[in-house]
Amino acid sequence: MSAGGRKPGARRPGGAFAEKVRARRRALQAIYQWTLTGQDAAAIVDQFHQEQDMKRVDTDYFEQLVTETIDRAGDIDPQLQQHLDRPLEQLDAMEVSVLRLAACELLYHIEVPYRAVLDQAVELAKHFGSDQTPVFVNGVLDRCAAEWRKIEVQADR
């Protein structure tokens, strides 16, 4: 044991996992801003670096998520739409933002387990959405994962 009571090599609180969680939170806020304003992704990323506390954020992952989600929204949105019961345009901007961010991770970041993507999306929905948002987001993303990550989902069950 180390002097701090942790085993050598054990993750310290607030380590890489926490930095990725913070990256997703900031990325969601940036994607929400883009959803409302249509502002350029690079300008939003720059603004976040200037105006937000990014000290304990995985900034590379933040930038990657924001840029990819915005750049690929034209591909992501139709794939999400297949799992919705109404047009994407009728959803709340926060719901759309959470779904786009999670869809980006499910589709383009297969190194991230689908369960982690769903869990993080639901947590973000709880924090930023309405009371119904977490249940809605979970249902949509569960259907998306079952199709997009079929082998991984089947192996998990």
Domains and CATH numbers, the chain: 16-156 (1.10.940.10)
Question: What's the pLDDT at 16?
Answer: 86
Which residues 6+ apart lie within 8 Å of 125 measured at CB? 94, 95, 98, 133, 134, 136, 137, 138
Average pLDDT value for residue range 12-19: 74
- Is residue 5 over pLDDT 80? no
Q: How confident is the model at residue 14 (pLDDT cuts 50, 70, 90)?
A: low
65 in Cβ contact with 105 (< 8 Å): yes
Quick one: pLDDT at residue 106? 98
Buried b (16+ CB within 10 A) or exposed e, 96-112: bbbbbbbbbbbbbeeee
Reply yes or no on whether the pLDDT at 10 is more than 60: no
Confidence of residue 157 (pLDDT cuts 50, 70, 90): confident
pLDDT at 11: 39
Q: pLDDT tens digits for 103-151?
A: 999 999 999 999 999 999 999 999 999 999 999 999 999 999 999 999 9
Question: ∠72-78-80 over CA atoms, to 5°?
Answer: 90
pLDDT recorded at residue 43: 97
Quick one: DSSP state of residue 130? -
Residue 8 is predicted with a pLDDT of: 39
